[in-house]
Chain A
Amino acid sequence: MTAAAEGSPPLRMARARRSPLLQSEAVQGIALISPTFLYALILLVLPILVVIAHSFWTQDYLTIDHTFTLENYRIALTEPIYRDLLWRSLYISLTVSLLTVLLAYPIAYFISFHGGRQKSLWLFLITIPFWTSYLLRVMSWKVILGYNGVLNSGLMGLGIIDEPSTALLYNSSAVIITLTHAWATFAILPIFVSLEKVDRTLVEAATDLGDGPLRSFLRVTLPLSAPGVISAALIVMIPTVGDYVTPKLVGGKDGVMIANAIQAQFGKASNWPLGAALSVTTMVIVSLMAGAAVLVIRALQRLAR
């Protein structure tokens, strides 16, 4: 105690000689994050505020009427077309995240538990699709699913179907298939990380206490990797609700999603306030859904005990 008290005044003086403001930990921290923070503020927070503001205004031909109104939200929530588009977007993103997680888990499990020394090679291979543009990957799905596409000719060659099926492309299923493939890596990585953290002796302990491979997986490995599953589901779900390119390219008229409607309002229809209200509504619903997804997975985790 005494030694510390004696030792501190000279120390403090030494600090005082330099700029005291720059010595403060809080200031240093803010200085460190400020470039990113300013960037996010100007390009993310401000535009969102602009969008939120617009959603309460009205488009008056070429000008904006700035009187406060909730009319845009009434249209966004009650107009059947927007309601349907919103539901479809939610349905597609939920299905995509569920499918992606289901398909990604075994891959992540294999790499983590049976990857051996080639773990990093496997992870490297998984990122290879990212070397090409997303547009090219969507286009290649068009080639696979199209009327004269790989899948149709393959099925006809095998004699399973007589004429090319039109059910493959330009509908919500095509959007789901394309998105599931596109987001696989983003689901594999967080699941892999959480599986890596599962202590292997815990699985041995479960085996020792009488569990076969399936039971020990369900009772130990799966619950302990739940954080990775949750983040994988959210990472896939949140951006896919608002996906615009994929439905535009492979969705046809049955695969249109809410983002396409928003784009139309800001573009051709030139009704920024309605587009803004649709955007805000989507944002709120996605946030709620993400929260609900976390709660549901937590509850499932508790049930698994």
Chain B
Amino acid sequence: MLERVQSERTISDRAMIEIRDVTRSYGAFKALDNASLVIREGEFFSLLGPSGCGKTTLLRMIAGFDTPTSGSIAVDGQPMDGIPANRRPTNMVFQSYAIFPHLNVEQNVAYGLKRLKLQSGEEKRRVEEALAQVSLTGLGKRRATELSGGQRQRVALARALVMRPKVLLLDEPLSALDKKLREQMQVELRRLQQAVGITFVLVTHDQYEALAMSDRIAVMFGGRIAQVASPKEIYQRPVNRQVADFLGGMNFVKAEIVEENGASLVVDTLGFGRVRTDKPKTFVRHGGAATLGIRPERLRVLWDNATAKFEVAGKVVERHYFGEITHLIVEIPGLEKPLSVTETNDFGADDIPVGAPIRLAYDPEALVAMAD
């Protein structure tokens, strides 16, 4: 469904933000370490990573609230060195929303327009339009202190969008909302971005948020960019264990490289036997060992006498019920760590007894080789 929506709009190849070798040090500590990145025009781009990975620092440097220690940032072809935040073609939605408490909704949204000295009719029209975009029509006279969390977020969004920026920066905009509202806003934000066509740069530590909304994601750890790719690629072909681990569950299997050529690897594993898999572009060999990863939902329970071309057999050691899915922990002879398996409950996975023998089917395509 989302895949279909994403393909509706084509993103131009033109670079909107170019980040070149940017480093930000605080004394000996490097909040950002030699990061380079190109964000395209019209793209919904996410910076994903755990707290302290440098994603917010990078966003603040694009906005102009922080300055790179070295390296350069260009927005829309213009180098941003020395240009203060108030003269950049970017606008920001702050994590705390930063709604001006002494102004009402309308005045908040019109805040940045006041300086442009528009004709009063034009200003009013643009404010109305922005409020309509975020479904706040009719709440213009509401005081900032009388708004709910979700409404405050919409005001912050309208206030930035009304400026018609080239880039909209969003600093963990959904983290303060409850789960239900957050999921609803994810869909709305994505829809809004498609409608206005502005380049969105989102900072988040929530992998599902990044996967659901973005055209591309940069995963960051410890001030470095680990991988930049589409959500699907990041999820299915993570470049290393860290990335794989951060984006949902992943079973890791030790493997020995038997054969390596241009595009593929042949490896020997204890549980899965000899497997041929795609060699990731970024794969760097360190000796003869590698790691294979497989997502828990790519292992399927084989019922009764059903067979599959590729299967492993083991024993259920734990079972955890999650409503629509069941989480099974399966011990496989020869594997040092048991496998996690998630299975939907429509065939009765929630009734599999602990201790029962079990067979699991898998697709060798789903086994991803990665650097250790």
A interface residues, Cβ below 8 angstroms from B: 199, 201-202, 204-212, 215-216, 219-220, 223-224, 301, 305
Contact = CB atoms under 8 A, between A and B. Distances in A.
Tell me what chain A mostly uses at the interface: helix, strand, loop, or mixed: helix
B303 interface: no
A205 B92 contact: yes
Give the most central of B84, B107, B111, B112: most A CB within 10 Å: B111
Given A204-B65, A207-B86, A223 B102 contact: yes
Give the 5 A-B residue pairs with the shortest CB-CB distance, closest first: A209-B112, A205-B98, A201-B98, A208-B92, A207-B85
B124 to A, nearest CB: 16
Given A215-B115, A305-B107, A208 B101 contact: no
B100 A202 contact: yes
Contacts of B160: 208-209
B198 interface: no
Contacts of A202: 98, 100-101
Interface in B88-147: 90-92, 94, 96, 98, 100-103, 107, 111-112, 115-116
Give the most central of A205, A215, A220, A301: most B CB within 10 Å: A205
Interface of B: 63, 65, 84-87, 90-92, 94, 96, 98, 100-103, 107, 111-112, 115-116, 159-160, 163
A209 B102 contact: no
Give the most central of A201, A205, A208, A216: most B CB within 10 Å: A208
A216 B100 CA distance: 11
B107 A199 contact: no
Given A209-B111, A209-B115, A210-B112, 18 more contacts: A199-B96, A201-B98, A202-B100, A204-B65, A204-B85, A205-B92, A207-B84, A207-B85, A207-B86, A208-B85, A208-B92, A209-B91, A210-B86, A210-B115, A211-B86, A215-B115, A220-B100, A224-B101
Nearest to A226: B102
A61 B226 CA distance: 97
25 contacts: A199-B98, A201-B94, A202-B100, A204-B65, A204-B94, A206-B100, A206-B111, A207-B65, A207-B85, A207-B86, A208-B85, A208-B86, A208-B90, A208-B160, A209-B91, A209-B160, A209-B163, A210-B115, A210-B116, A212-B84, A212-B86, A216-B86, A219-B111, A301-B102, A305-B102
Nearest to B104: A305
Give the most central of A201, A209, A219: most B CB within 10 Å: A209
B63 A208 contact: yes
Give the most central of B96, B100, B107: most A CB within 10 Å: B100
A281 to B, nearest CB: 37
Contacts of B103: 305
Contacts of B84: 207, 212
A210 B94 contact: no
A219 B115 CA distance: 11
Give the most central of B96, B102, B116, B159: most A CB within 10 Å: B102
A137 B45 CA distance: 64
Contacts of B100: 202, 205-206, 220
A301 B107 CA distance: 14
Contacts of B101: 202, 224
Contacts of B86: 207-212, 216
Contacts of A219: 111
A103 to B, nearest CB: 25
A208 B96 contact: no
Contacts of B96: 199, 201
Give the most central of B84, B90, B112: most A CB within 10 Å: B112
Contacts of B85: 204, 207-208
Contacts of A205: 92, 94, 98, 100, 159
Nearest to B92: A208
Contacts of A199: 96, 98
A68 B245 CA distance: 90
Nearest to B85: A207
A205 B101 CA distance: 12
A209 B65 contact: no
